[in-house]
Amino acid sequence: MTTDTTPAPVLRVRDLAVTFRVDGGRAPDVPAVRGLSFDLAAGEVLAVVGESGSGKSVSTMALLGLLPGTATVTGSARLGDLELIGLDDRALSDVRGRRVAMIFQDPSNALDPVFTIGYQLRETLRRHLPGLSRAEARERAVELLRMVELPDPEQRLKFFPHQLSGGQAQRVMIAMALACDPEVLVADEPTTALDVTVQQEVLDVLRRLRERTSAAVVLITHDMGVVADLADRVVVMRHGEVVETAPVHDLFAAPAAEYTRTLLAAVPRIGTPERPSAADTRERPALNVEHLVVEYKDRRGRVVRAVDDVTLRVQPGEMVALVGESGSGKSTLGRCALGLAPLTSGTVEVVGTRLGRDTPRAVRAARTRIGVVFQNPAASLNPRYTIGESVAEPLRVHAGLRGDALRTRVAELLDAVELPAAWASRYPHELSGGQRQRVSIARAVSLDPDLLIADEPTSALDVSVQATVLELFRSVQQRLRFACLFISHDLAVVDELADRVAVMHRGRLVEVGERSRVLGAPEHDYTRRLLNAAPVPDPAAQAARRSVRLAS
């Protein structure tokens, strides 16, 4: 599958550079991509890998002229014998969707919510193949939906995007991209917003498409598992430049560049050795959930059971991971522990206070003993507060600290999360994602909590940043010895952190046990499915897993 045998590549990119004009030209231009060159052979899957800000998305958007007016693109990109760079928008729009098609990260927002998917498919066909009759367009739309393995394609044409699940919406996006048989398909993080089992389905669809279309694929991703699963060759980017280009097996087996090695090392993998648990089983549990049921009514008035008869304990010093896909009820359970979701039946006891039975005053007091870290640090920190003020707030409100004592404590806390104390006067937007999450952790532990609830604290972060934040999280937990309920969808992350693992599926707790036991020898079918669905960052192992799974 290497390019040596193919005479002319489908797409030949040379010295592509993108710069952005900032602040109306008053500030110096910001380079986003420099000197990017690669060839894309027919039928090949080329992965472009890198962390956020590496320029991987910008470079492909630049090829199709989809960047805002502030961007300047130079260099060359030849599609067959057509030079794309410098082409006017009208000519480029004939290429887009016809010869080069794209799919994007978040499928539920990538489709127009007020038109049916049938309309949106036919619209693409009509734009590029004006000779098609109404009936032919409809027939082709059905055929496309069948190709991406969407059940009941005729019926689905009448569906609106919100009636589809994320995985289904992404299949529609793929179908739309393939509508006019493009030469190149650009897939920008196609499975990042999806649950692992859904990701697996979409990856399967993409993989099987290679047999059905001749399109070459540019796969933009940060997920090394996805790379190992799909790619033939890999381009690794950092700070807008190519660090390394290699066939996929070579890249994983013997990465040449130092950065590639760091990147691969940062990817969490299942199989962490045994480690002692700090759980204290003699003491009263920090969180004790018994036969909890949470029901709510949806907008049609139907009763939905979000949490169904869940019993779970977290001992002081113990880290319990709550694992499940979106809609499994794991976040609802987390909110219950904070007293933020109404209990239908069952009991929740947090740091010795029973929610629902004890007085609101006691519950409020208990809440000061709980720390919380949310998924998106950009949204959970007040943008108008300095990070010092954010960390100081609980100390001022609950511990009554003022003046020098407060400043000293804030400095200690920032130091504990490995941020310079002088940064207290900075605002969240001046920090990177990882640094912001450190601030969230500092704020969550400021009152020395007995229980910490962390809801997907690292899912919004790049892998290398995630690795350092997880390490920090573990060390802070061991030092302060709080009980922790760690909510996550990523089993590899859980494997690095947790003492015990609880797996949730459709509101029920399907399996609870020691980490090594649950992840090493899962008893429940769903746990096995979750474990098998996540692609492993190793092309050979992933190919073996795929053939085993598809054979069964």
Please say which residue, 26 or 299, places its beta carbon nearer to another protein: 299
Structure tokens at 348: 């929740």
Please say which residue, 77 or 248, places its beta carbon nearer to another protein: 77
Minimum CB separation of residue 98 from another protein in Å reads: 6
Using CA atoms, how far apart are residues 269 and 319, in angstroms rounded to an integer? 19
**How buried is residue 114: exposed, middle or buried, by Cβ count under 10 Å (0-12/13-18/19+)?**
exposed
Please say which residue, 68 or 273, places its beta carbon nearer to another protein: 68
Let me know how many helices (H) and strands (E) the chain has, helices first: 22, 20
Residue type, 36: L
Minimum CB separation of residue 297 from another protein in Å reads: 10
List b or e across 375-384, with b for residues whose CB sees 16 or more CB atoms inside 10 angstroms.
bbbeebbeee
User: What is the per-residue DSSP string for 431-466?
Assistant: S-HHHHHHHHHHHHTTT--SEEEEESTTTTS-HHHH
Contacts of 261 (CB under 8 A, 6+ apart): 255
Residue type, 383: P
Please say which residue, 179 or 226, places its beta carbon nearer to another protein: 179
Minimum CB separation of residue 93 from another protein in Å reads: 5
Structure tokens at 372: 């919380």
Using CA atoms, how far apart are residues 186 and 176, in angstroms rounded to an integer? 13
Q: Which ranges of 298-374 does DSSP label H, i.e. alpha helix? A: 330-337, 360-367
Sign of CA dihedral 34, 39, 43, 46: negative
Tell how strand 370-373 and strand 241-247 pair up: unpaired
Structure tokens at 535: 């692609």
Please say which residue, 300 or 384, places its beta carbon nearer to another protein: 300
List b or e across 478-501, with b for residues whose CB sees 16 or more CB atoms inside 10 angstroms.
eebebbbbbbbbbbbbbbbbbbbb
Minimum CB separation of residue 124 from another protein in Å reads: 5
- Where do contacts with another protein occur on this chain (CB under 8 A)? 64, 66, 89-90, 93-98, 101-102, 104, 106, 109-116, 123-124, 127-128, 160, 162-163, 173, 176-177, 179, 299-301
Please say which residue, 47 or 63, places its beta carbon nearer to another protein: 63
Please say which residue, 134 or 302, places its beta carbon nearer to another protein: 302
Please say which residue, 191 or 435, places its beta carbon nearer to another protein: 191
Residue 35 · residue 41 · CB < 8 Å: no
Minimum CB separation of residue 451 from another protein in Å reads: 37
Minimum CB separation of residue 116 from another protein in Å reads: 8
Please say which residue, 30 or 91, places its beta carbon nearer to another protein: 91
Minimum CB separation of residue 453 from another protein in Å reads: 31
Residue 380 · residue 324 · CB < 8 Å: no
3-state secondary structure of 48: strand
